[in-house]
Amino acid sequence: MTNEYVPKIVPINHIERKPGGEMYRIVGKGVTVEFLVDYIDDPEWPVERIAKAYGLTPAEIYAAWAFYYDHQAEIDEHRRRNHEFYESLPSYREYFERKQHEKNTDERSEER
């Protein structure tokens, strides 16, 4: 009988995805991995500042970044689709100008 060492893998459970959801989040915090990706290597936002601003621990932040690198293609694709969707929407100014124009047109039609 050999006395072979078998390592035990210990999961770090900081990331979740709700059933039916597309976004990975910090467990119990609601902060998404996608959101935290924007802070990777940002000198204006060191880990300590992110942790304080969003009520996270450094371990949660580093876990999110590690998770991102392990799932980068999937997360980047989701980010790309979201960006395309939001870019396709009219700006708030365009939206309110159009609504004001429609309102003015309706009011003039009712006056006749």
pLDDT digits (tens, 9 = 90+) for 81-91: 988 888 888 77
Output the pTM of the full model.
0.71
pLDDT higher at 50 or 12: 50
Sorting pLDDT into bands at 50, 70 and 90, what band is 105?
confident
In whole angstroms, how far apart are CA 68 and each of 26, 34, 48, 59? 12, 8, 19, 14
DSSP sequence for 51-102 = HHHHT--HHHHHHHHHHHHHTHHHHHHHHHHHHHHHHHSPPHHHHHHHHHHH
In whole angstroms, how far apart are CA 66 and each of 19, 25, 36, 61, 90? 22, 13, 11, 9, 35
pLDDT at 14: 94
pLDDT digits (tens, 9 = 90+) for 19-77: 998 899 999 999 999 999 999 999 999 999 999 999 999 999 999 999 999 999 999 99
**Structural domains of the chain, count:** 1
- Give strand ranges (E) for the chain: 15-16, 25-26
Which position has the token pair 């580093």?
Answer: 62
What's the rounded Cα separation, in Å, for the pair 41 and 20?
31
pLDDT at 111: 65
Domain encompassing residue 50: 15-106
